[in-house]
Amino acid sequence: MHRLKNLTRFTTTHHRFTTTPTLSSLHHFTTTTGSPSLSPAAGLGPTKKTEKPRVVVLGSGWAGCRLMKGIDTSLYDVVCVSPRNHMVFTPLLASTCVGTLEFRSVAEPIARIQPAISTEPGSYFFLANCQKVDTDNHEIHCQTISTDGLQTLDPMDFKVSYDKLVIASGAEASTFGIKGVKEHAIFLREVHHAQEIRRKLLLNLMLSDVPGVSDDEKRRLLHCVVVGGGPTGVEFSGELSDFIMKDVHKRYSHVKDYIHVTLIEANDILSSFDDRLRVYATKQLTKLNNNNQFVSNVCRIGVDDWLRVPSAPDVFAIGDCSGYLESTGKPTLPALAQVAEREGKYLAALLNNLGKAGGGHANGGGDMELGEAFVYKHLGSMATVGSYKALVDLRQSKEAKGVSIAGFASWFIWRSAYLTRVVSWRNRFYVAINWLTTFVFGRDISRI
């Protein structure tokens, strides 16, 4: 059987792929084991030539959702397989950890992004993980997610045939080989991570107020350590600082002097930003340097100029899980929402053109003209550092010339930009109301 072999290649974000990928197994996808409880026929079989072709999308992140939004559902049926039924608006996720924003304000249901998956007879969303891609038979093997002890349904295996497959499953969180990270730290990638952080923060604040807790214990309970000085770590530290200065000082005044935040980064914080802005951010934040040398080892699926996986017909990869093959001569793009989103938009247009030209079915369109290759133009970076201050760096690269500003005006630009980027009007409204409520009444500190 011809399976996805070495679709992933080890590389750092700065390196290109050295080998053309052949087919083996997708990284973080394990081998399939058949479920005894399920008939072998379970799943969606191949489409007929008289039916609409089927685009199968793995993942409901920035890349997958932008792709689904742009797909013409009069040409294709869309099937999305993902362990979560919503997209996370990650740039604002850090704000939910301390209650500046509520969790639902940053979660966008997929059915709102692409309504066809809940209305069209041939389009679906499956709450499952893809475990294997069988490119010989144009099908994927999936397993429903575990229901965390709710005992609703034991994990079930099923298959879905595809005409076109888009892998948009993101990057796996890295522990950088540091022991104990998975057991003792909380990643910040999903809404449930933010919920866990908020619950723990409020729990420790309340426990440290209990009579009999020693000063040392209070300091331990209220010491927040943030690992990673990229935009996410810096923004989270800024949010924490605001929470401490504005809400803890007012509502937990007995313990306010015991709380502090340490940001650990092996190199410079916000290394992709202008040096002047980095100095500014450093001044804004409490920082403790540590000499750990983190090793970045990001696995990505190699793609060509049109985001195709060359060794697997009808398979495309976009977003954080993909990277250019060395043969393209292009550097690997940064793991950013703006890259993922633009790749999703580009690929939707490419697939629509293919569908219109009659090349939507499996093995169709192989000899058709695909049009312009994907080109990425960096629009700049932004990060908030707390206290109504942010950094805005509109240069296309670290070496290029252009606008880079810091301070209140940047914070205003940061907020306005993200408010307009929030996917739906419903969430845009939620975010605006949350910001206003926090400004007027402070953050909600009830531990629910």
Binding site for ligand FAD (CB under 6 A): 29, 58-64, 81-84, 90-91, 93-94, 129-130, 168-170, 188-189, 231-232, 319-321, 335-338, 340
DSSP string, 74-120: TT-EEEEEESSSEEE-GGGHHHHTTTSS-GGGGEEEHHHH-THHHHS
Q: Rounded distance, CA 209 to CA 404, Å?
A: 43
Q: How far is the CB of 253 from ligand FAD (least distance, A)?
A: 30
Least distance in angstroms from the C-beta of 18 to ligand FAD: 22
Report helix, strand or coil for 429. Answer: helix
CB of 95 to ligand FAD, least distance (A): 10
148: left (phi over 0), alpha (psi -120 to 50) or beta: left
Query: Of the two residues 87 and 205, which places its CB atom closer to ligand FAD in the complex?
Result: 87
Minimal distance, residue 344 CB to ligand FAD, in Å: 7
Residue carrying the six token digits 């993909």? 322
Q: What residue ranges in 248-356 does DSSP mark as E strands?
A: 260-264, 298-303, 315-317, 322-324
Q: Which uninterrupted H or E stretch holds 167?
A: strand 164-167
Judged by beta carbon, residue 93 or residue 307, the one nearer ligand FAD is 93
Nearer to ligand FAD, 397 or 446 (CB): 397
The residues facing 178 across adjacent strands are none
Token pair of 345 as six digits: 């938009």
Q: How far is the CB of 331 from ligand FAD (least distance, A)?
A: 16
CB of 437 to ligand FAD, least distance (A): 22
Cβ-based nearer residue to ligand FAD, 171 or 445: 171
Q: Min. distance of Cβ 122 from ligand FAD in angstroms?
A: 20
How many Å apart are CA 6 and CA 23, to the nearest integer?
Answer: 5
Burial (0-12, 13-18, 19+ Cβ within 10 Å), 30: exposed
Nearer to ligand FAD by Cβ, of 59 and 386: the residue is 59
Is the CB of 125 or the CB of 258 nearer to ligand FAD? 125
Please give the angle made by the CA atoms of 425, 340 and 277, to the nearest 5 degrees. Answer: 85
Which of these, 62, 80, 87, 71, lies nearest to 162 by C-alpha position? Answer: 80
Helix or strand (DSSP H, E) at 58: strand 54-58
Q: For CA atoms 133, 134, 138, 144, give the dihedral sign.
A: negative
Question: Toward ligand FAD, which CB reaches closer, 84 or 428?
Answer: 84
Rounded to a whole number of angstroms, the minimum distance from the CB of residue 362 to ligand FAD is: 20
C-beta of 252 vs 280, nearer to ligand FAD: 280
- Chain residue at closest Cβ approach to ligand FAD: 61
Cα-Cα end-to-end distance for the chain: 51
Give whichever of 208 and 381 is closer to ligand FAD, judged by the CB atom: 381
Q: How far is the CB of 27 from ligand FAD (least distance, A)?
A: 10
